[in-house]
Structure 1
Amino acid sequence: MKCPKCGMEISESAKFCEHCGSVIGQAKIDSGAPDAVSQKVTPVSPNQNNITTVPKKKKGMTWWQLSILVVSIVLVGLLVCVFLFAGFMSCVASRSEQNSQSTIASSDAANQGDEGQTSETSSYIPVGTAATNNNLSIAVTGVTEQKAVDASFGQYSAEEGSKYIVVNVTVKNVGDSMESFQASDFQIKTKDDVQYSPSLLPVADEFMSYESLNPGLEQSYSIAFETPDTVVLSDCYMQVQQFLSLQQSRFALS
């Protein structure tokens, strides 16, 4: 190969002329090298930029919303109580009406054929006749007037100017579950609406206090009422009304 400038022979692989120093050819740049520097960009997360994320606060109930909720709960509770009480009173009234009809029928049957009695007297259940009062069949079996009542340890004596009216009753459970009753369910009343409650005689034999009877069982008790000596039996009757019951049974004492 000849140098293009001086014409002298040179090597085929020569890059410069040995004779004149001319550049035979420009050095080639490696075609595989990148012609530009590429930068790899890595995405940056929000936390890498020192950005603080504030969590959103949950919005709670305001005071008036809470007040409405409380009032609503109270009203619902009151309505439930009213409905329950109304249902209870309806059952009591129905039961009382049935027992009253039984009592009236017993009283009318016992007084058929009696002459000379007033309508007021005939409304009382006679001695020896049973009447049903709230699943309890009750009958007055005897009435006495006493100055003292025998007890396990001595006697109970009436105060001066007073006496004990002792009423003997027989009680039978005619229902299908246990029935409870107590002496305070029994009251003696006069025609002038004066009321006498039973005297508490805790150690007196066979005297009623707080009692319970299972279905079908029958028991006899005595109940003592301390009254003035001036009280006349013919002017009195005994009223029976159990706790929370609307039914009243009235028994003659003479």
Structure 2
Amino acid sequence: MRVLILGGTAEARALAAELDAAGVPVVSSLAGRVTNPRLPVGEVREGGFGGPEGLAAWLAAEGVAALVDATHPFAARMTASAAEAARATGVPLLVLRRPGWREGPGDAWQRVGSLREAAERLAAPMRVFLTTGRRSLPAFAGVPGVWFLARSVDPPEPPVPANAHVLLDRGPYTVEGERALVREHRLDVLVTKDSGGAMTTAKLVAARELGLAVIMVDRPQPPPGVRLVETVAEAARWARGHAG
């Protein structure tokens, strides 16, 4: 019986590869929000399901044995839909979330609960390294007198801050490269989401070394009652147990 992985992350790709190697049939679902995404091994389904009702119908029609939500830690809507669909169908659900980042010696972080709160912490004449994703830029469009270096994989949709330079790039990044960006653009504040993982930690190291303040947006909590693990190995063991 197949396992459905709600993917788009490095962890989702690693999980698909591990289950495929173990002979477990896997379908990976990608929401289609990124152009030219990195594809996992095995069967891939692109596009949304039409909300929790559509996902529930798909799970029932396809005879899915288990559902793993390995989406981005900030994909709160998708996680909520997965939880609702799992309850409606009785399909077991596991949420795979890599651990968040932790502040260390030499860091100067301010933790905030939302993009709006992050924007409220900014004031002229700050020069901000904005790495919260292209869909977050409208939250910062009304901040006056602040210059932004806004990095994203795909071009953002308006509105964007008037004083913004958009840098299109895809990780992983290097500490050397991040230091160069900070120096070239004379940045003094980093705004980022607590996505966790090693692929984009270089910006945090560069911020520590160069004395940048960091505004860290906390990740949303998963729905109550949902089982959560932090490693691909744990998720693979769980999925194999339910697909056997």
Name the TM-score class by shorter chain. under 0.3
Q: Which structure is higher in strand share?
A: 1
Greater gyration radius: 1
TM-score norm. by structure 1 comes to 0.22
TM-score norm. by structure 2 comes to 0.22
Q: Which structure is higher in helix share?
A: 2
